[in-house]
């Protein structure tokens, strides 16, 4: 995958990426109770979360670089009779007006950048969320085995050039817990979880971060 072109979903096993994450059910209920309706799926892939939120009545915008991802999402949405706006673009420059969204999800999609790029992404997230809006995102922990590998190129103290599922090698941004608040300084941190998952028998560490725009 070229970091500026997005995943080639035709070359990836999409079964895993088709099932909504467990967190989305809680977030959907919470944000519905809070009266949030304008939802941005930042790095939507093939739309597992966009489809779920649209089915619950949210006004959904699916944002991703991948044309094949948008194509698969469009086919699924049409079959289900759901209306979802798809927009292609890079996370560092969001083509939306200030305060366009009430809530935002960036699930395993935000960190394909270096340290400078991550600063731009956080700034853009803050800009497009309305006051009091919330976001939920995942970040790769420096406890992840890939950060500790000696055979991968490091672009800076937080960024490693890491292989992707489609065979490409792109930047991946890693953090420690004490670096999260600094990275997300425009936001109020509601909750952080540090979780070890196992995917295809391999250990994978991520932070799950819930934030609010004051």
In a domain, 1, yes or no: no
pLDDT on residue 8: 60
pLDDT on residue 2: 38
Q: Which of 119, 116, 118, 171 is nearest to 147 (CA)?
A: 171
- Domain of 189, CATH number, reads 3.40.50.150
Note down the domain range covering 13: 9-212
How do strand 59-64 and strand 129-141 relate by DSSP bridges? Answer: unpaired
Q: List Cβ<8 Å contacts ≥24 apart for 140-143.
A: 140/111, 140/172, 140/173, 140/174, 140/175, 140/205, 140/206, 140/207, 141/174, 141/175, 141/176, 141/194, 141/205, 141/206, 141/207, 142/174, 142/175, 142/176, 143/194, 143/196, 143/205
In a domain, 122, yes or no: yes
In a domain, 112, yes or no: yes
For 127-174, write each residue's pLDDT tens digit. 999 999 999 999 999 999 999 999 999 999 999 998 876 677 889 999
pLDDT at residue 187 is higher than 70: yes
Query: Mean of the pLDDT values across residues 31-45?
Result: 97
The 3-state DSSP class for residue 96 equals coil
Q: Which of 61, 186, 63, 94 is nearest to 131 (CA)?
A: 186
pLDDT at residue 57 is higher than 80: yes
In a domain, 85, yes or no: yes
How do strand 169-175 and strand 159-163 relate by DSSP bridges? Answer: antiparallel
For 70-81, write each residue's pLDDT tens digit. 999 999 999 999
**pTM for the whole structure:** 0.91
- Token readout for 129 is 């969320």
pLDDT at residue 201 is higher than 70: yes
The 3-state DSSP class for residue 34 equals coil
In a domain, 2, yes or no: no
| Chain mean pLDDT for the chain | 92
pLDDT on residue 200: 77
- Token readout for 206 is 């991520």
For 72-107, write each residue's pLDDT tens digit. 999 999 999 999 999 999 999 999 999 999 999 999
In a domain, 19, yes or no: yes
In a domain, 3, yes or no: no
For 11-30, write each residue's pLDDT tens digit. 565 576 778 999 999 999 99
Q: How many domains does the chain have?
A: 1
């Amino acid at each position: 995958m070229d970091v500026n072109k997005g995943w080639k979903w035709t070359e990836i096993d999409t079964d895993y990426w088709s099932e909504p994450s467990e967190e989305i059910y809680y977030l959907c209920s919470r944000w519905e109770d809070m009266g949030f309706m304008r939802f941005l799926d930042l790095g939507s892939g093939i739309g597992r979360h966009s489809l779920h939120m649209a089915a619950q009545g949210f006004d959904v915008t699916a944002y991703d670089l991948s044309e094949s991802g948008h194509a698969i999402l469009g086919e699924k949405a049409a079959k289900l009779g759901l209306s979802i706006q798809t927009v292609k673009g890079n996370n560092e420059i969001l083509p939306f007006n200030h305060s366009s969204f009430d809530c935002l999800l960036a699930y395993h999609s935000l960190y394909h950048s270096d340290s400078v790029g991550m600063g731009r992404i956080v700034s853009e997230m803050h800009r497009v969320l309305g006051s009091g809006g919330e976001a939920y995102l995942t970040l790769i922990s420096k406890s992840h085995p890939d950060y500790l590998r000696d055979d991968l190129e490091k672009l800076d103290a937080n960024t490693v050039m890491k292989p992707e599922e489609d065979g490409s090698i792109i930047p991946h941004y890693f953090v420690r817990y004490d670096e999260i608040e600094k990275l997300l300084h425009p936001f109020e941190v509601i909750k952080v979880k540090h979780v070890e998952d196992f995917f295809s028998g391999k250990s994978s560490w991520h932070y799950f971060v819930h934030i609010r725009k004051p």
